[in-house]
């Protein structure tokens, strides 16, 4: 069998095929149209930004009686249906996803944006004269190498709203921080590790310390249409990351606190010191306010000393509960998260008083 190399076809090509009844969007082996309005809008936003989307597979045959090429969409039906519906003004782009063209339909966006949309090229694999058995065999082979989706990848597929956009944008904005400080590996980032980490930290900022994954999915759903605290969350998140960077002066990597588990607690501790974590009465009062560069560096010195004591053999007895909370097993348990954040926050505040 020859190699099926992707070809480029524009949105306008698909519109023309559809108008001439040469495009079959739902052949017998395709699923029904199940995309939500948010999912459709997200795709249109992707195209308007000129970003790539996954390859589309089409089975192509020639009707010798009608002298017509017939193209059956094997994979990509919902993407193409969304594009065709948008071109026919059936729905607008959501403002939460695209502030520039938000609430506008195709005919309402500027002429240049319309041209760019119509010229956008899909990467398409054409399966010529392929029977059902061949098509099914191809996808069975493709699925053989598919990895099981992580929890975060499942969230990514299910939600398209403001909370998701905020978490993903913050994660990407701090990509160099995650890498240079050893908080996340490139492999973890490829599997959306930065989005997962930021999502958990946002839930902590909004609702307090909980079990590691508690309320994450609920927050994606709750703030999908409207995220009123977005501006505050973005501002405070940036302030905490900047403070941590100053505190460790670029030397976070390789420390106890660069481990993802401990980094989450480090972030939580600084957040509590600066702004106060809600709904967690077990923590000693925080909300000191934003730290000056001098205070941040003092906090960094205190945390270096904490790590030295942590690694001492035997360690101080007063740190035993903290050490136990840093180990595996119940390390994601709420009580252990509180212990970690409390110990780190108290260490920081001791140098600020």
Residues facing residue 123 across a β-bridge: 8
pLDDT interval class at 174 (50, 70, 90): very high
Annotate 149-165 with DSSP letters as a single string. Answer: PPHHHHHHHH--SHHHH
Residue given tokens 């319309």 in the structure block: 114
Neighbour tally for 268: CB within 10 Å: 27
pLDDT at position 258 is: 96
Question: What is the mean predicted confidence (pLDDT) over 111-118?
Answer: 97
Distance from C-alpha of 184 to C-alpha of 197, rounded to nearest angstrom: 9
Q: How much of the chain is helix, strand and coil, in % rounded to 5?
A: 55, 10, 35
With 0-12 / 13-18 / 19 or more C-beta atoms within 10 angstroms meaning exposed / middle / buried, residue 72 is: buried
pLDDT digits (tens, 9 = 90+) for 302-317: 999 999 999 999 999 9
pLDDT at position 1 is: 44
- Stated pTM of the model: 0.79
pLDDT at position 132 is: 73
- In whole angstroms, how large is the CA radius of gyration of the chain? 26
- Least confident interval from 24-33, 73-82, 95-104, 334-343: 24-33
Identify whether the C-beta of residue 225 lies closer than 8 Å to the C-beta of residue 96: yes
Domain range annotation of the chain: 7-144, 151-350
């Amino acid at each position: 069998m020859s190699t099926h190399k992707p070809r480029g076809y524009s949105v306008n090509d698909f519109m023309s095929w559809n108008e001439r009844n040469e495009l079959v969007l739902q052949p017998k082996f395709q699923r029904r149209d199940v995309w939500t309005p948010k999912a459709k809008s997200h795709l249109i936003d992707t195209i308007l930004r000129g970003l790539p989307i996954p390859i589309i597979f089409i089975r192509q045959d020639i009707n010798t009686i009608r002298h017509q090429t017939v193209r059956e969409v094997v994979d990509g039906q919902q993407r193409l249906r969304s594009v065709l519906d948008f071109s026919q003004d059936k729905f607008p782009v959501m403002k939460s996803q695209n502030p520039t063209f938000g609430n506008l339909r195709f005919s309402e966006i500027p002429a240049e944006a319309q041209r760019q949309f119509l010229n956008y090229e899909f990467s398409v694999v054409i399966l010529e004269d392929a029977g059902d058995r061949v098509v099914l065999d191809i996808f069975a082979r493709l699925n053989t190498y598919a990895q099981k989706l992580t929890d975060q990848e499942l969230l990514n597929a299910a939600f398209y709203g403001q909370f998701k956009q905020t978490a993903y944008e913050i994660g990407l904005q701090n990509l160099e921080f995650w890498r240079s400080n050893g908080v996340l590996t490139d492999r973890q980032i490829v599997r959306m590790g930065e989005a997962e980490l930021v999502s958990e930290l946002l839930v902590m900022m909004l609702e307090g310390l909980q079990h590691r994954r508690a309320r994450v999915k609920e927050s994606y759903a709750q703030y999908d249409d409207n995220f009123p605290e977005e501006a505050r969350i973005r501002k405070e998140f940036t302030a905490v990351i900047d403070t941590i960077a100053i505190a460790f002066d670029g030397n976070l990597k390789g420390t106890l606190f660069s481990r993802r588990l401990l980094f989450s607690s480090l972030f939580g501790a600084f957040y509590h010191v600066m702004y106060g974590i809600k709904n967690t009465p077990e923590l000693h009062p925080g909300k000191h306010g934003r730290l000056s560069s001098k205070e941040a560096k003092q906090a960094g010195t205190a945390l270096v000393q904490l790590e030295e004591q942590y690694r001492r053999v035997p360690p101080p007895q007063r740190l035993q509960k903290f050490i136990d909370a840093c180990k595996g097993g119940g390390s994601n348990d709420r009580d252990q998260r509180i212990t970690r954040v409390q110990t780190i926050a108290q260490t920081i505040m001791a140098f600020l008083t």
